[in-house]
């Protein structure tokens, strides 16, 4: 397996490992080895490599915000004075309801994902964002539903 780039490139066996984990995130190394027809040593070695190579993101992503009392998700497009972008990101990071933000190409500078308890809460959060120095305009869109829930399995299947 080659390593020319910094990031380790996953092969088919890794893919199958991830598929098996998607089926059952709690499955043990023994069970994984069994379903994949590999030895336990191999599975453990590969899992360690996957972890070390940054193939896994934070556990936060598996927590359902609705269970925490934030049933609403909204996307807020934020237009800013671009030279202040770095500072604005730091300011936004202080708002706990902002669960994610992407710097974007195109008309919008930032796409911010927000969770909130209700519409009034969203209104308040939007105000907080607008109050940040350098933020010029926001456009809020409420997510009515996750019509395609986050998934990577179709991509995994294609490499299987």
Partner DNA sequence: AAAATAGTGAGCAGAGTGCCCTATTCAGAC
Partner DNA sequence: GTCTGAATAGGGCACTCTGCTCACTATTTT
Residues that bind DNA (CB under 7 A): 1, 13, 26, 28-31, 37-42, 44-46
Question: Which residue, chain included where needed, has tokens 């350098």?
Answer: 134
Query: Could you tell me the two tokens for 4?
Result: 């020319």
- End-to-end alpha-carbon separation of the chain, Å? 17
Check binding of 44 to a copy of itself (CB under 8 A): no
User: Closest CB to DNA among 29 and 75?
Assistant: 29
The packing angle between helices 29-36 and 12-23, to 10°, is 120
Check binding of 4 to a copy of itself (CB under 8 A): no
Q: Which positions from 12 through 41 interact with a copy of itself, judged by CB under 8 A?
A: 15, 18, 21-22, 25
Whether the CA torsion 115, 121, 123, 128 is positive or negative: it is negative
Q: Which of 73, 129, 132, 135 binds a copy of itself (CB under 8 A)?
A: 73
Length of the chain: 160
Q: Which of 13, 82, 159, 160 binds a copy of itself (CB under 8 A)?
A: 159
């Amino acid at each position: 397996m080659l390593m020319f780039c910094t990031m380790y490139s996953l092969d088919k066996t890794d893919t199958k490992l991830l598929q098996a984990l998607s089926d059952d995130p709690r499955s043990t190394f023994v069970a994984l080895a069994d379903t994949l027809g590999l030895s336990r040593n191999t599975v453990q070695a590969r899992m360690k490599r996957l972890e070390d190579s940054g193939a896994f993101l934070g556990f936060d992503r598996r927590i359902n915000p609705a269970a925490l009392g934030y049933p609403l998700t909204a996307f807020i497009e934020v237009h800013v004075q671009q030279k202040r972008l770095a500072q604005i990101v730091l300011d936004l990071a202080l708002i706990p309801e902002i669960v994610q933000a992407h710097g974007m190409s195109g008309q919008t500078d930032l796409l911010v994902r927000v969770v909130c308890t209700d519409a009034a809460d969203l209104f308040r959060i939007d105000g907080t964002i607008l109050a940040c120095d350098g933020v010029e305009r926001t456009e809020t869109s409420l997510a009515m539903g996750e019509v395609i829930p986050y998934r990577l399995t179709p991509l995994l299947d294609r490499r299987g």
